[in-house]
Amino acid sequence: MLHFRMDMPLYLMALYGSVMIVIVFLFRSFFKNRLPKFVFPLLWSMVLIRLLVPFSLSSPISAPVPEWQQLLSESPTVYLTDLAEGTATTSASVSEAVTYSFAESSGGLPLNWQLALTVGFGLGAVAAAVILLSQKIRYSRKLKNSLLVEHNLTINAILRDMGMGHILVFTNDEIVSPLVLGTLNPRIYLPAGMDFRQSQLLRHILAHETMHIKRRDNWRKAVMVIALCLHWYNPLVWLLSTCLSSDLEAACDEAVLKHTDTDERKSYAATLLSMAITGSRSTLLYSAFSKTEVERRIKTVLSYQKATAFMLTLSMLLVLFSTIVFATGGQAPFSVYLSSYCSSTSSRWGVKAGLARDISLGENAGQRADNVIFDVLEADASNDPDVIANQVKAALAKEFGVEKGAFRLAVDLCLTDDEISKEYENQGITKGPDSFYLYKGEPVRVYTDEVLGAVQTREEGAVDISLQRDRLGQITSVEVLREGDAAFDRRTKEIERSHRYDTGLPYGTATTQDGGPLVKQVTAIESESGGGFFK
């Protein structure tokens, strides 16, 4: 199932586009001389689409969105309890659930920084546009006084043979190499210093330039310039510009040479050599007739081999596969919330389901997901979290008609107070009058039950205990630390050190630290001075 949206943020377009540039560049480096040349302009075109079009197409092969990009929603806790009549009822506890929005949880920059970055980005884009546009205007001025070739029988005959008789050809004494200019109305410009008596030379040049027109290469270059203006800060996009221009020339050379023999290819290479520029052209972009580029193109032309049917088929499959992967590989931020946190008296485990990719599941998706999870919890007799997770994913996939990988599950041990007390008593752990734990009558300073997600700490105590559970949530052992044990003494020093920073004692928000993490979590603070309430 595919899900299409048009709200990809610009920073993600740049991120995913940059990843694609690196992938295509590495692929190009390894297979440049093995695959037909038309493959690489197609791959670069896909990258340009990713850089410029804010689409998000989610599919089963989409890369998961990192947690810091996900939009989080309220997730209430829902309990399923059995009644005496054998029916069931649910109750939701939303007040204890901490809710976030994407803006609150993303740790965004201050507004003045955001404004500065926006202004800087805009100024950079305008500057890049001005520079590139001024370059085009400069070339247009050079070509303004070009002369139309009207009565050259050789040129007219060559263009008619190619089915391009409607294309206008101009000569200009300020350019040193042939070029095509224009998107809606493309024109061919030839250096006035060329020897127009050499029909073979003209045929090669016109064949190459008309191939650019047939393949709409000027349109691709125009799109590339837009990408450069929008992503001016990204060196990978400038690398894309150079590689795309080079690959467009190579693809045109290949298309021209498709039906030629060895002698014709040598003649074509000689034409390229005659067009080599003696001095580098002043440009930020690629030059097809610079000395270095002409040398590379000549080597490619002389070593040209016609692609086999197998390689053509492989290339088309590669392009098709790349299109699918590139189109669906990245997703825009989306809400991962699906189900409530569901627990039942019939199971030791609670389950919460979320989405692994952006997908539309229809109306009442949350309630339907809750019902599916409760059905699994009620029917499960294994009390195995892995079995429960597989059953829930399979049931959700069946309910919504998608793959199991579309869901993320959190399966946590979920016990009632009575169940916890009974298990702890079997291990010699009880609660004292002050609600702190005792281990075989000794006061517990620090208690942790990692699988259950429970921690309790106080300053004084004879022992530190840590409960170990197996994968089924059953207690297997109790790790006990006493004075004289290295870990116990280290924790004592940390607690003593933390006293120097407990400035919140008068307000009832004192905390201690255990190896770094906070062991008593403050969930809400209300300021009496009007500072407001926050979680």
CA–CA dist 524, 526 (Å, integer) = 7
Enter the tokens of residue 202: 């003209």
Q: What is the pTM of this model?
A: 0.62
3-state secondary structure 309-333: HHHHHHHHHHHHHHHHHHHHCCCCC
Enter the tokens of residue 8: 């990809």
Specify whether the CB–CB gap between 162 and 206 falls below 8 A. Answer: yes
Alpha-carbon dihedral sign for residues 54, 60, 61, 63: positive
Length of the chain measured in residues: 535
Question: Over the chain (535 residues), what is each successive 10-residue block's mean pLDDT?
Answer: 69 88 90 85 92 76 55 50 37 34 46 87 93 87 86 85 87 86 88 82 88 91 94 95 91 84 81 64 54 73 73 80 70 74 88 84 88 91 91 92 87 89 92 90 91 87 91 91 87 75 44 41 42 38
DSSP β-bridge partners for residue 444: 463
CA–CA dist 361, 288 (Å, integer) = 51
CA–CA dist 448, 481 (Å, integer) = 12
**DSSP-derived 3-state class of residue 250:** helix
DSSP β-bridge partners for residue 429: 439
In degrees and rounded to multiples of 5, residue 319 shows phi and psi of -60, -45
Enter the tokens of residue 328: 């669906």
Q: What is the pLDDT of residue 393?
A: 93
Q: What is the pLDDT of residue 357?
A: 79
Question: Which contacts (CB < 8 Å, 24+ apart) does range 470-473 have?
Answer: 471/384, 471/385, 471/386, 472/383, 472/384, 472/385, 473/348, 473/349, 473/383, 473/385, 473/413
Q: What is the pLDDT of residue 426?
A: 92
What is the signed CA dihedral for 375, 376, 378, 380, rounded to 10 degrees? 160
Q: What is the pLDDT of residue 499?
A: 62
Pairing of strands 463-469, 3-5: unpaired
Q: What is the pLDDT of residue 230?
A: 95
